[in-house]
Amino acid sequence: MSKKVLLVVVSVLMMAMLVAPAAAQKTVVTWFVGLGTGSNAEQIEVQNKVVEEFNASQDEIELVVNIASANEAADDLFTTLVAGGTPPDIVGPIGVGGSNRYADLWADLQPLVDSTGYDLSGFDPALVDLYRTDDGRLLGIPFAVFPSITYFNPELFDEAGLNYPPQEFDAPYVMPDGTEVPWNYATMRDLAMILTVDANGNDATMAEFDPANIVQFGMNFQWARMRLMWTDIQPEDWFDEATNTVTIPESWRTATQWIYDAVWTDHFMPTNTYDASEAFGSGNAYSSGKLAMAVTPLWYTCCLGNSVGNFEWDLAVVPQSLDGEYHVATDADTFRMLKDGPNPEAAFKVLSYLLNEAVPSLAPVYGAFPARPEYQQAWIESKSAQYDWGINWQVAVDSLAYNNPGNMHHESNMPNYGKATDAVFAFQTMLFSDAGQGMDVNAELDKLQADVQAIVNEVAQ
């Protein structure tokens, strides 16, 4: 071997020796996917691409993704990693309710926001407040948001000679005679009764109306759980952490009576039996085209592409709550950091990337409406291509400013959250089933409050 060749070989070996330690010094950050969405084939492909792009964008961090497969118990896998001392650095996307099971694990991001100068001004402050605790911690930064809105069927309004619900906040509802009235749940009730029709063509305001043969309903809260319905009608904080006390507020009692009357007295909201029937979409009543209005989060756009009724729907703002103000119950998913992660600074850099540069890739496969305004138009354009008849998507954008804060969120945490949620759902099931007809609403709510209080107390014992 010539001296020249030997010199080249030695030089290459020395460079390799220098590069290897540099590569080995990369900080590894792990991203766990599976506690929410993210496990289908299309999502996995995009998530892997995001990881590749992040790793190629810098040379300090090696991002590794751990995706729980569809047949793998993600909760068990995550718990095992945490218990084994190898927790992931980042988890998500995960919803508010899904995160409650692990409430003690999440990192407070406020110190990292402060130390890095992370700019929160791009988000609507109401969305940031969703992740703030009463003691000032910031447990998440907005990523995907799904505000509650009023889906409505214009064809049914036209048939009834009614004007459409308002598509702007603070706009009144205009009655057929030109009279302007507040857009609130009392007005929604009045419209819903006119829009509820039996097989003989009588609406629910008429003495001849037959509730046993309804062919069209006025409204529902499509696929909503009870706490979402309650906070749609009036957001409240029902758990006092300082005293460990559960209290069903008076406004929720009023809301429950309103819902009960809608189902069993005024008959403009479908019972479980009607809702499950083939005529009303087998559990997806609004999609049947035989329901005039549905108050439900924006993610419901997922499930109207093949509507049984094949109708051109539109969006309106939610009614004013009982206090006369607008409040929007918002489902939300984001990525969270674990407080015991070994590399919080590096993990926060990855988190910042997922919440910004990765949004155009991740939001479409997650079906997510981005919290960042600069990415919302792309979502709107994709939905407009899917539903091409001129839906007023600005309703969704405007709704974000009215988001309920974290302590009044319909999935706000409490001890024994899962079991408490099951108890509330059992109450809801009774309310909408035949067993609920004739129930004493306040007496049943007293029982529910006592049951949930006992469930909360189990944790303290």
Provide CB contacts within 8 A for 318, sequence distance 6+: 148, 149, 150, 232, 295, 326, 327, 328, 399
Residue with tokens 């289908």: 40
Are residue 314 and residue 435 in the same domain, yes or no?
Answer: yes
Residues 295 and 437 both lie in one domain: yes
Overall domain count for the chain: 2
- % of the chain at pLDDT higher than 70: 93
Domain shared by 140 and 160, yes or no:
no
b/e map 230-246, b = 16+ CB within 10 Å: bbbbbbbbbbeeeeeeb
In order of 107, 160, 296, the CA distances from 302 in angstroms are: 31, 28, 12
User: Per the domain annotation, does 8 fall within a domain?
Assistant: no
Closest CA to 321 of 152, 185, 151: 185
Q: How far, rounded to the nearest angstrom, does the alpha carbon of residue 121 sit from its chain's CA centroid?
A: 22
Residue 383 in this model has a pLDDT that exceeds 70: yes
Residues 346 and 448 both lie in one domain: no
Domain that holds residue 40: 24-123+134-144+333-386
Same domain (yes/no): 138, 183:
no
Burial group, residue 79, by CB count within 10 angstroms (0-12, 13-18, 19+): middle
Residues in the chain: 461
pLDDT digits (tens, 9 = 90+) for 400-418: 999 999 999 999 999 999 9
Contact between 108 and 134 (Cβ < 8 Å): no
- Is residue 62 domain-shared with residue 160, that is, in the same domain? no
Tell me: do 197 and 274 sit in the same domain: yes
In a domain, 194, yes or no: yes
What is the amino acid identity at position 176?
Answer: P
pLDDT at 60 over 60: yes
Domain co-membership, 102 together with 165: no
Give the residue among 303, 314, 337 at the shortest CA–CA distance from 143.
Answer: 337
pLDDT tens, 388-402?
999 999 999 999 999
* Mean pLDDT, the chain, integer: 92
The answer to whether the CB of 293 falls within 8 A of the CB of 156 is no
Q: Is 223 left (phi over 0), alpha (psi -120 to 50) or beta?
A: left
Q: Are residues 159 and 81 in the same domain?
A: no
pLDDT of residue 10: 36
* Separation of CA 201 from chain center: 37
Per-residue pLDDT band for 342 (boundaries 50, 70, 90) equals confident
Asked if 241 and 339 sit in the same domain, the reply is no
- CATH number for the domain including 427? 3.40.190.10
Query: Are 272 and 361 members of one domain?
Result: no
Please count the other Cβ atoms lying within 10 Å of the Cβ belonging to residue 279: 12
386, 406, 431 — which closes off a domain?
386
| pLDDT band, very low/low/confident/very high, at 24 (cuts 50, 70, 90) | low
Taking each helix axis from N to C terminus, what angle separates 41-57 and 359-366, rounded to the nearest 10 degrees?
A: 170
Q: What is the pLDDT of residues 73-131, one digit of tens each?
A: 898 999 999 999 999 999 999 999 999 999 999 999 999 999 999 999 989 898 999 99
Same structural domain for residues 281 and 193? yes
Residue after which a domain boundary falls, among 370, 386, 402: 386
Segment 156-199, tens digit of pLDDT: 999 999 999 999 999 999 999 999 999 999 999 999 999 999 99
- Which secondary-structure segment (H or E) carries 157? helix 154-160
Does 128 fall in a domain?
A: no
pTM of the model: 0.91
